[in-house]
Amino acid sequence: MLLCVAVAIVRMKDLLAVVMLLGVYGLLSASFFVTMDAVDVAFTEASVGAGISTVLMLTTIAMTGRNESAPPYKHLLALVLVVMTGALLVYGTMDMPYFGFAEAPANLHVAPRYIQDSMAEVGVPNLVTAVLASYRGFDTFGEVMVIFTAGLGVLALLGLAKPPKDGDAEIDLLHDKLHEQHLVLRVVCKMLIPFILLFALYVQFHGDFGPGGGFQAGVIFAAAIILYGMLFGLSTARRVINQPLVLLLSGIGAMLYGMVGVVSMLKGGDFLDYSVLLSDPIAGQHLGILLIELGVGITVASVMVIIFFNFAGRIEYLQRKRSRDKQG
Amino acid sequence: MLIAATLAILVVMFLAFIRGYIGPTFYDRILAVNMFGTKTVLFICLLGFVMGRPEFLDIAMVYALINFISVIAILRYSGSFDERRPPGNRKSIGRDV
Amino acid sequence: MDVIISSIGGLFLLLGGIIAIIGGIGVLRFPDFYTRMHAAGVGDTLVTGLILVGLILQMPEWLVVIKLIIILFMTLFINPTSSHALTKTAFQNGLLPVLHKKEEANKGDAGPSTR
Amino acid sequence: MIVGLYNYWIVVILMMIGFYIVIAQGNLIKKIAGLIIFQTSVFIFYISIGKVDGATAPILADQFSQYSNPLPHVLILTAIVVGIATTALGLALIVRIKEAYGSIEEDEIQEKDNQEC
């Protein structure tokens, strides 16, 4: 199935259709992850691959136009190169262990330790959360920083020097039209949005026991805000959610993560060693994981909101510029 | 029964994908994506039962929400694409099946 | 008693599967967007209801039942809403339904039994 | 017995499709789509390595004793979120390129660059 969709993406000229097929591709790969027992990964891929990335691609296409004009070139050379690389890689797989083989080298080194001892050492049933937040906490800290930096990069590339003034007649007209068209949509979304926010909090704090955690919860939280922004117009969403505050929050999330590490150092442990946070090591681990997931969640949610606001704000800026050019 | 229903859902997913690929208009594609998403929700629910760990229904819930959000996004930004056709040409759009 | 309830659940699942396939064929073979919309919208909601009720009748733990009911309600809200929004947008952007029947498009496609 | 390697072959084919899109298509958005496919193939590779036959998802429960390897899941989970962040950055760059050059086709951008020199 995945292969079919990928081939279809190659052949499709219409960029809009490509984006939609990418959404389908994301859903499919997420179901694949579920069959491979990777429920946390499926969770993330579902909310990211099928949701946020589709929204971002769509906003980009709305700015750049939907048709691919030039025909693909360098056809033959590229094909030969690709087939050669593929053949080499397939040759390389001959030495790999069989699929699902329990004694494969990848499954023999640290994984048994995680599976057997983490209940005693960390006390969290979800192994993925335990490894993510506790054993590999330093790694995750780096990832959070990468996300934070990407948010700053988008802000630098697409941010506007002056925040747009409210009350631009033409844009407001466009929004009003959209609102009147979709009355049913608006009412249903108004009911759904609190539910989505609640669900995000559930995912955030239930991550120790089931699939979920800071990354997923952040993305879902951001998705609710994005839904609001899409339906009620960007200026309304800006009025509800203060953009400098969101920017501050993304920093605070990353800081919270780092601070937990620093506090554990001050208490005599290593950086990000939560056992020393409280007198009982297991309770300390629980507290540390909770705080860290909270930091991750805040950072991811606010970075996603920043990215969306900047993309959508750019669209409005371009529309306004175009209408001003028409008038002047 | 569980397995039969799972297989049926897989078949339907494939059919929806074909519609999304050939779909003559842009709306057909959205329709196919929407249908695909709903079927994925069911697929995940069934899969949880087949694998004997039905507590993973959270994933299905996320799917339902995200699918809705992406459909709304497509509708919201479809207004910005310049595919409005001149009014004289309108009649022919629905008919070229 | 348990056996009866779970076999009723199995029946629901089977029915859901069959209707899902019928809906899929409808989406593939109907002549224009609005009829396809009909097949997809009605079929999807019905199938979701049937399969989720079937799963509930398999009698898992109560937490799972609650989650299933939440999913059921959400689909019942979301599915018709998105169908409605999609159709409305399509109509407003000037997509017209097929009104007169074409000869080859008609044969076996627009089955009278659908509505 | 060689059929037992099929998961790697699927990964290789997907990866090559993504690679082909990246090098053979001129449109920048299409290239991003290719990158996403490439990325997903790597994810699938990792996850399929971690799968163990007869095991279940790595969330501890009393009635199960064998679990899949949780380490690849952790790596991929963070990689997905980082991937979307970098994709967003790439898309932002595309938007700026479109504003500066008026096009997102690779050869048209090249032509404009040559004219300016």
A324 touches chain C (CB under 8 A): no
Question: pLDDT band at residue A289, thresholds of 50, 70 and 90?
Answer: confident
D100 touches chain A (CB under 8 A): no
Could you say which of A181, A182, A188 has the minimum Cβ distance to residue C77? A188
Q: Is the separation of the CB atoms in A64 and B82 below 8 Å?
A: no
The answer to whether position C38 is within a domain reads yes
Distance between terminal CA atoms of chain D? 59
The answer to whether position A92 is within a domain reads no
* pLDDT attached to residue A273: 74
Tell me which of A69, A95, A111 is where a domain ends. A69
- Residue with tokens 């298509």, as numbered in its chain: D25
Same domain (yes/no): A268, A175: yes
Distance CA C48, CA B26 (A): 25
Among chain A residues, the shortest Cα distance to C90 is held by A181
Residue B92 three-state SS? helix
Give how many domains chain C has, as a whole number: 1
The CATH number fitting domain D2-52+67-116, selected from 1.10.287.3510, 3.30.930.10, 3.30.540.10, 2.30.42.10: 1.10.287.3510
Q: Which domain holds residue C60?
A: 2-88
Tell me which of A69, A84, A108 is where a domain ends. A69
Q: Is the separation of the CB atoms in A208 and A289 below 8 Å?
A: yes
Q: B7 contacts in C (CB within 8 Å)?
A: 17
Whether residues D47 and A33 touch (CB distance < 8 A) is answered with yes
The answer to whether position C110 is within a domain reads no
Q: What is the mean pLDDT of residues B3-19?
A: 84
**Tokens, residue A280:** 């009982």
Residue D103 three-state SS? coil
In degrees and rounded to multiples of 5, residue D67 shows phi and psi of -125, 155
The answer to whether position C106 is within a domain reads no
Q: How far is A126 from chain C (nearest CA, A)?
A: 18
Distance CA A243, CA A305 (A): 9
Determine the Cα angle at A115 with ends A109 and A117, to 5°.
Answer: 100
Could you say which of A15, A111, A213 has the minimum Cβ distance to residue D69? A111
* Higher-scoring residue by pLDDT: B97, D20: D20
B51 touches chain D (CB under 8 A): yes
**Tokens, residue D117:** 């020199």
Q: Is the pLDDT of residue A164 over 70?
A: no
Whether residues C70 and B61 touch (CB distance < 8 A) is answered with yes
**Tokens, residue A315:** 């669209």
Question: 3-state secondary structure string, chain A?
Answer: CHHHHHHHHHHCCEHHHHHHHHHHHHHHHHHHHHHCCCHHHHHHHHHHHHHHHHHHHHHHHHHHCCECCCCCCCHHHHHHHHHHHHHHHHHHHCCCCCCCCCCCHHHCCCHHHHHHHHHHHCCCCEHHHHHHHHHCHHHHHHHHHHHHHHHHHHHHHHCCCCCCCCCCHHHHHHHHHHHHHCHHHHHHHHHHHHHHHHHHHHHHHHCCCCCCCHHHHHHHHHHHHHHHHHHHCHHHHHHHCCHHHHHHHHHHHHHHHHHHHHHHHHCCCCCCCHHHCCCCHHHHHHHHHHHHHHHHHHHHHHHHHHHHHHHHHHHHHHHHHHHHHHHC
* pLDDT attached to residue A74: 57
Q: Which amino acid is it at A269?
A: G
* Higher-scoring residue by pLDDT: D91, D116: D91
Distance CA A292, CA A273 (A): 12
Q: Give domain limits for chain D.
A: 2-52+67-116
Q: What is the CATH number of the domain that holds A61?
A: 1.20.120.1200
Specify the length of chain A in residues.
328
**Tokens, residue A130:** 């335990």
Q: Which amino acid is it at A114?
A: Y
Distance CA C63, CA C72 (A): 14
D42 touches chain A (CB under 8 A): no
Q: How many interchain CB pairs under 8 A, B with D?
A: 6
* pLDDT attached to residue B82: 40
Chains in contact with chain D (at least 3 beta-carbon pairs closer than 8 A):
A, B
Percent of chain A residues topping a pLDDT of 70: 82
The answer to whether position A45 is within a domain reads yes
Half-sphere exposure of C44 (CA within 13 A, CB side): 31
The answer to whether position A223 is within a domain reads yes
In degrees and rounded to multiples of 5, residue A139 shows phi and psi of -60, -50
Same domain (yes/no): A203, A297: yes
Same domain (yes/no): A149, A39: no
Q: Which domain holds residue A190?
A: 126-327
Q: How far is A185 from chain C (nearest CA, A)?
A: 6
Q: Is the pLDDT of residue C112 over 50?
A: no
Q: How far is B97 from chain C (nearest CA, A)?
A: 6
C66 touches chain B (CB under 8 A): no
* pLDDT attached to residue C109: 43
Whether residues D67 and A153 touch (CB distance < 8 A) is answered with no
Give how many domains chain A has, as a whole number: 2
Q: Is the pLDDT of residue A176 over 80?
A: no
Among chain A residues, the shortest Cα distance to B28 is held by A17
Using an 8 Å CB-CB cutoff, list residues of chain B that contact chain A: 13-14, 17, 20-21, 23, 26, 29-30, 32-33, 36-37, 40, 43-44, 47, 55-56, 58-59, 61-63, 65-70, 72-77, 79-83
Q: Which of residues 78-97 of D touch A (CB under 8 A)?
A: 78, 80-89, 91-96
Q: How far is A134 from chain D (nearest CA, A)?
A: 11
Q: How far is B6 from chain A (nearest CA, A)?
A: 12
In degrees and rounded to multiples of 5, residue A120 shows phi and psi of -80, -35
* pLDDT attached to residue C1: 72
Closest by CA to A71, choosing from D116, B28, D108, is D108
Q: At what angle do helices A281-327 and A183-206 cross, to 10 degrees?
A: 150
pTM as predicted = 0.83
What are the beta bridge partners of residue A67? A14
Distance CA C47, CA B9 (A): 10
When scoring A43, A52, A55, A189 by the number of chain B Cβ atoms within 10 A, the one with the most, hence best to mutate, is A55
Task: Tell me the per-residue pLDDT of C26-53, one tens digit each, with 9 for 90 and over.
Answer: 888 888 888 888 888 888 888 888 888 8
Q: D35 contacts in A (CB within 8 Å)?
A: none
Distance CA A18, CA A57 (A): 10
Task: Tell me the per-residue pLDDT of A305-324, one tens digit each, with 9 for 90 and over.
Answer: 888 888 888 887 877 777 77
C23 touches chain B (CB under 8 A): yes
Q: What is the mean pLDDT of residues A116-145?
A: 79
Q: Is the pLDDT of residue A67 over 70?
A: no
